[in-house]
Amino acid sequence: MGSVTVGVLRERAVGERRVALVPEAVGRLAPGGVRVLVEPGAGAGAWFADAEYVAAGAELVPAGELVQRAQVLLCVGPPDARTTTALRPGSLLIGLLDVLRTPVAAGVWAETGVTALSLDLLPRTLSRAQPMDALTSQANIAGYKSVLVAADAFRRFFPMLTTAAGTSKPATVLVLGAGVAGLQAIATARRMGAVVTGYDVRPESREEVLSLGARFLETRAFATTPGRTGADGYARPLAEAEQLAQQRALEEAVARADVVITTARVPGGRSPVLVTARALERMRPGSVVVDLAASESGGNVERSEPDATVVTAQGVTVIGAGRLPSAMATAASTAYARNTGALLTHLLRDGIPTVDLADEIQAAVTVTHSGSVVHPAVVALLDDGRARLGGNR
């Protein structure tokens, strides 16, 4: 049996506390002939000490040496420019590489001769790929944490409480988007005693929301619109007229809620605006809005800012919370390490990592291979970028 050397670098993105592999996962990989190199301090942000990695069988190695020795490099987010320059030809790069937003990076990896596999491209319709589904594992954590963030900012109780000082009514929580994060937010808010309503454009989500003991927000915005679920299992992007109809339908419900949590992210695309500035103006003072889709390119809430809290003139607290998994770095890293470990195990053939584009899982996540960009969606984005550049000359 062969052996493979896997490297784990410290994440360098601002605010990123997760690590791609935890000590527990190092021990699980060892029987398969996997040697693990870890940059000192790689797990510190998630409270995993260097000594734990050593005890699990890993070797602590400086970043420069690690990149040169590792055949497979595991990361959470895409590597920075300095690390990218140091990647050696023929190595494998595995992480949440976000290539649909930054396709140019794929061209650089291809030129370097790196085989890049991006876990955020994994379709959730492939049942046998569920152990590798990092988007789902991280969305679960974000949905849970979003309710805790909202409860911390809300100045009243979530549950109904009867005390000697009187009775407090329960908070009303509206969760927009009933994917993995939304369903977890609904379940968590229910456990905390709130009165919860969920909403999603996909009709099949209604039963999932009701099964958690929440109400489902019925609207007439899409009474005649078929096919609101895409082939990848996510809600498809809405046309402009559909989005305007949705915003109008949601405005009344948003105004009635004490807490609104928005979770509608579009992989590789711009998130839909669900809560407009007009809707925010109608909310009661002291209300809280948590936007899980908040990013530099915009989120689900018009006034949200990434990684920032804004209080409107009407006294509504708007929290841009697009990076919540990092706020629960220990749990998020543990779950993510299981995802990366499952994909790595899937790639190993007699102890050697082997990319087979005939395999539907590998074909779905492989971005670059043998010196070329091979993922059709990334190729299309690069071609479109070249075409627009050419047209501007």
| Residue pLDDT, tens place only, 5-35 | 999 999 999 999 999 999 999 999 988 889 9
Six-digit token pair at 21? 């592999």
* Domain positions in the chain: 4-132+328-391, 142-322
**DSSP designation for 31:** G
Q: How confident is the model over 380-389, as a mean pLDDT?
A: 79
Distance CA 190, CA 212 (A): 8
Strands (E), 169-274: 172-176, 195-199, 215-216, 259-262
pLDDT band of residue 228 (cuts 50, 70, 90) is: low
* Class at the top of the CATH hierarchy for domain 4-132+328-391: alpha beta
Task: Examine the pLDDT at 220 and tell me if it is beyond 80.
Answer: no
Q: pTM of the entire structure?
A: 0.91
**Chain centroid offset of residue 229 CA:** 19
With a pLDDT cut of 90, the percent of the chain lying above it is 79
**The residue to which tokens 């100045």 are assigned:** 155
Q: Which residues of 123-160 are buried (b: 16+ CB within 10 A; e: fewer)?
A: beeeeebeebbbbbbbbbbbbbbbbbbbbebbeebbee
pLDDT band of residue 369 (cuts 50, 70, 90) is: very high
Q: 214: number of CA atoms within 13 Å, CB side?
A: 33
Task: Examine the pLDDT at 135 and tell me if it is beyond 90.
Answer: yes
Q: Which residues of 11-50 are buried (b: 16+ CB within 10 A; e: fewer)?
A: beeeebbbbbbbbebbebbeeeebbbbbbeebbebbebeb
pLDDT band of residue 389 (cuts 50, 70, 90) is: low
Are 101 and 293 in contact by the 8 Å Cβ rule? The answer is no
Strands (E), the chain: 4-8, 34-38, 59-60, 72-74, 92-95, 115-118, 161-163, 166-168, 172-176, 195-199, 215-216, 259-262, 288-291, 309-311, 317-320, 348-349, 352-353, 366-369, 372-373
Output the CA–CA distances (angstroms, integers) from residue 332 to 20, 108, 181, 201, 340, in the order listed.
10, 29, 13, 28, 12
Range of lowest pLDDT (11-20, 202-211, 361-370, 384-393): 384-393
Distance CA 275, CA 293 (A): 12
For 152-184, write each residue's pLDDT tens digit: 999 999 999 988 888 999 999 999 999 999 999
| 4-132+328-391 and 142-322: identical CATH topology | yes
pLDDT band of residue 386 (cuts 50, 70, 90) is: confident
Task: Examine the pLDDT at 234 and tell me if it is beyond 80.
Answer: no
What residue type is assigned to position 249 of the chain? A
Are 26 and 79 in contact by the 8 Å Cβ rule? The answer is no
Q: What are the beta bridge partners of residue 38?
A: 8, 60
Six-digit token pair at 152? 């911390």
Distance CA 333, CA 39 (A): 16
Task: Examine the pLDDT at 231 and tell me if it is beyond 80.
Answer: no
Are 4 and 351 in contact by the 8 Å Cβ rule? The answer is yes
For 58-103, write each residue's pLDDT tens digit: 999 999 999 999 999 999 999 999 999 999 999 999 999 999 999 9
Distance CA 79, CA 11 (A): 8
What residue type is assigned to position 324 of the chain? L
Superfamily for 142-322?
A: NAD(P)-binding Rossmann-like Domain (3.40.50.720)
What residue type is assigned to position 373 of the chain? V
pLDDT band of residue 269 (cuts 50, 70, 90) is: confident
Q: How confident is the model over 240-255, as a mean pLDDT?
A: 85
Six-digit token pair at 58? 């890993």
Task: Examine the pLDDT at 210 and tell me if it is beyond 60.
Answer: yes
Distance CA 124, CA 158 (A): 33
What residue type is assigned to position 109 of the chain? W
